[in-house]
């Protein structure tokens, strides 16, 4: 049963302890996989796919014919949902596009260019746990940014095929190439390149602990979006919240993973107790009951606080991936939210809306990293390049300042570069 904890002026850190697992424990085994793929290329990918996914594959890349066949297996109604989701996600992310600028000052010209990345790899969990929503959320911002090539990797089913829903989402979103590989080995292939898989500039998308560890280890060879840990939700609720809905939203996160985190922070003991009962009752009816029970036992909790100010202080300390404000006037409290990946306002905005259809991205910072990370956006798929021009007169006008700066730092060569142009 999900426990109820009374605040009683405890340190927030004591209230919010979790039992998540870090990537460091997996570094050695993952590094071995990375090195093997780097050395053996496609052969290592085929071996690991047989070992970890139970699939014997002859071709690593998914053919256009397979994509077409996969699309035909998808419910036409779901294809329409994918298109509607694409429209919503596109509309939201198009507002994120930024432009470069040019500045002129006393004969000098300077500016900044915004350039799309050339190649991006998108990791999508596959097999029996397929997430076509992840395809849309990771690919659409990259397309809007103008990325030249988008490569998708996803683990195959045991017969070697790729889940049709993922193929459909990839086609709708505009993926250029699809490869039937997963796990740390797929991350290695994207980072280093193989005979079949192109090396990319950045890897995005969630995965299990092995994928997260691999992304951490290849960072620097390529860029990554973030190290995604277990999913989490924190719900701040007052007396107007419905315990049936609150419990359902907690369980929607708990079913993701045994390490997922579901927390309710409320001012109302009656709501806490009613939600506690609802969590137990609803769990019995859900297909992922075994996962939910482990998740709730490890990281589920209900925290009773004196007022909503304290509730927001707890939320800001936890810095949740998803924050629901299930209160009477959620917009009145929005400005007090400092740390959260995405905020869901009011009683009719469950986090699940953001997972699939609404428009804001669902790739969010986890494990308190909302303190310094942001949701995936168009900005993740561009780079900024600066430029600078000085005419002769403009250069000579600032020459003495530059020379003094350089000499103060003890860099005579720097000073000489300007002094010679000045004519000294």
The band of 8, judged by pLDDT with boundaries at 50, 70 and 90, is confident
Is 123 annotated to bind a ligand? Reply is yes
Check whether 26 is labelled as a binding-site residue.
no
In the set 255, 321, 324, 351, the catalytic residue is 321
Interacting residues of 302 by C-beta distance below 8 A, sequence separation 6+: 2, 3, 4, 5, 263, 264, 265, 266, 272, 275, 276
- Terminal-residue alpha carbon distance, the chain: 81
Confidence of residue 229 (pLDDT cuts 50, 70, 90): confident
Please indicate if the annotation marks 231 as binding a ligand: yes
Query: How much is the average pLDDT of 182-205?
Result: 98
Looking at residues 29-58, what average pLDDT do you find? 96
For the entire predicted model, the pTM comes to 0.92
Average pLDDT over residues 357-362: 96
Residue 128: pLDDT above 60? no
Mean of the per-residue pLDDT values for the chain?
94
pLDDT category, 7, cuts 50, 70, 90?
A: confident
Three-point CA angle 4, 9, 13, nearest 5°: 75
pLDDT band of residue 12 (cuts 50, 70, 90) is low
Structure-block tokens of residue 168: 């459909």
Domain definitions of the chain by residue range: 4-20+229-359, 24-224, 391-422
Tell me: the pLDDT tens digits for 69-81?
Answer: 999 999 999 999 9
- The three-point CA angle 279-350-77 to 5° equals 110
342 is in an annotated binding site: no
* Residue 148 is assigned to a ligand binding site: no
Kindly state which CATH superfamily the domain 4-20+229-359 is placed in.
Nitrogenase molybdenum iron protein domain (3.40.50.1980)
Task: Tell me if 409 is assigned to a ligand binding site.
Answer: yes
- pLDDT higher than 90, residue 114: yes
- The annotation status of 384 as a binding-site residue, yes or no, is no
Give tens-digit pLDDT for 321-356: 999 999 999 999 999 999 999 999 999 999 999 999
Helix/strand/coil (H/E/C) assignment for every residue in the chain: CCCEEECCCCCHHHHCCCCCCCCHHHHHHHHHHHHHHHHHCHHHHHHHHHHHHCCCCCCCECCHHHHHHHHHCCCHHHHHHHHHHHHHHHHHHHCCCCCCEEEEECCEEEEEEEEECCEEEEECCCCCCCCHHHHHHHHHHHHHHCCCEEEEECCCCCCCCCCHHHHHHHHHHCCCEEECCCHHHHHHHHHHCCCCCCCCCEEECCCCHHHHHHHHHHECCEEECCCCCCCEEEEEECCCCCHHHHHHHHHHHHCCCCCCEEEEEECCHHHHHHHHHHHHHHHCCCCCHHHHHHHHHHHCEEEECCCHHHHHHHHHHHCCCEEEEECCCHHHHHCCCCCCCEEEECCCCCHHHHHHCCCCCCCCCCCCHHHCCCCCCHHHHEEEEEEEEECHHHHHHHHHHHHHHHHHCCCHHHHHHHHHHHCC
Whether 273 is a known active-site residue: answer no
Q: What is the dihedral of CA 234, 238, 242, 248, to 10 degrees?
A: 10
- Banded pLDDT at 193 (limits 50, 70, 90): very high
CA distance 205 to 247: 28
**Which of 7-16, 241-250, 344-353 bottoms out in mean pLDDT, i.e. has the lowest?**
7-16
Q: What percent of the chain has pLDDT over 70?
A: 96
The domain defined by 24-224 carries CATH number 3.40.50.1980: yes
Of 6-20, 254-268, 322-336, the least confident: 6-20
Residue 401 phi, psi (nearest 5): -65, -45
Please report the pLDDT score of residue 25 as a whole number: 81
Query: Residue 38's pLDDT is what?
Result: 97
The catalytic position among 93, 245, 293, 322 is 322
112-138 average pLDDT score = 92
338 is catalytic: no
Q: For 263-274, what is the mean pLDDT?
A: 97
**Are 4-20+229-359 and 24-224 the same fold in CATH?**
yes
Is 223 annotated in a binding site? The answer is no
Reported confidence tier of residue 22, pLDDT bands at 50, 70, 90: low
């Amino acid at each position: 049963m999900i426990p109820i904890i009374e605040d009683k002026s405890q340190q927030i850190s004591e209230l919010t302890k979790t039992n998540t697992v870090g990537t460091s424990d997996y570094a050695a085994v993952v590094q071995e996989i990375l090195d093997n793929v780097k050395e053996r290329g496609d052969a290592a990918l085929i071996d690991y796919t047989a070992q970890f996914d139970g699939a014997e594959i002859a071709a690593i890349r998914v053919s256009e014919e397979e994509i077409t066949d996969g699309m035909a297996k998808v419910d036409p109604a779901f294809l329409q949902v994918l298109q509607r989701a694409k429209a919503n996600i596109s509309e939201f992310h198009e507002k994120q596009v930024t432009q470069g600028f040019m500045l002129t000052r006393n004969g000098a010209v300077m500016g900044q260019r915004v350039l799309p990345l050339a190649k991006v790899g998108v990791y999508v969990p596959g097999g029996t746990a397929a997430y076509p929503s992840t395809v849309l959320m990771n690919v659409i911002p990259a397309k809007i940014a103008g990325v030249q090539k988008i490569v998708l990797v996803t683990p195959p089913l045991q017969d070697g095929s790729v889940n049709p829903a993922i193929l459909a989402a990839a086609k709708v979103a505009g993926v250029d190439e699809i490869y039937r590989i997963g796990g740390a080995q797929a991350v290695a292939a994207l980072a280093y390149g193989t005979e079949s898989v192109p090396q990319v500039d950045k890897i995005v998308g969630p995965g299990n602990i092995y994928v997260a560890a691999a992304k951490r280890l290849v960072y620097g060879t390529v860029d990554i979006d973030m190290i995604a840990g277990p999913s989490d939700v924190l719900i701040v609720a007052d007396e107007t919240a419905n315990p049936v809905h609150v419990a359902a939203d907690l369980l929607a996160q708990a079913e993701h993973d045994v390490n997922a985190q579901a927390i309710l922070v409320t001012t109302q003991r009656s709501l806490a107790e009613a939600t506690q009962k609802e969590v137990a009752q609803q769990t019995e009816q859900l297909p992922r009951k075994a996962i939910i029970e482990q998740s709730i036992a490890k990281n589920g909790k209900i925290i009773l606080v004196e007022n909503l100010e304290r509730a927001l202080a707890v939320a800001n300390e936890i810095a949740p991936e998803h924050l629901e404000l299930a209160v009477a006037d959620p917009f009145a409290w929005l400005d007090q939210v400092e740390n959260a990946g995405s905020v869901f306002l009011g009683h009719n905005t469950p986090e699940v809306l953001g997972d699939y259809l609404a428009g804001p991205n669902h790739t969010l910072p986890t494990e308190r990293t909302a303190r310094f990370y942001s949701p995936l956006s168009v900005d993740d798929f561009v780079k900024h390049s600066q430029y600078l021009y000085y005419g002769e007169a403009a250069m000579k006008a600032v020459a003495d300042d530059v020379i003094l700066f350089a000499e103060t730092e003890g860099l005579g060569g720097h000073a000489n570069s300007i002094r010679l142009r000045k004519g000294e």
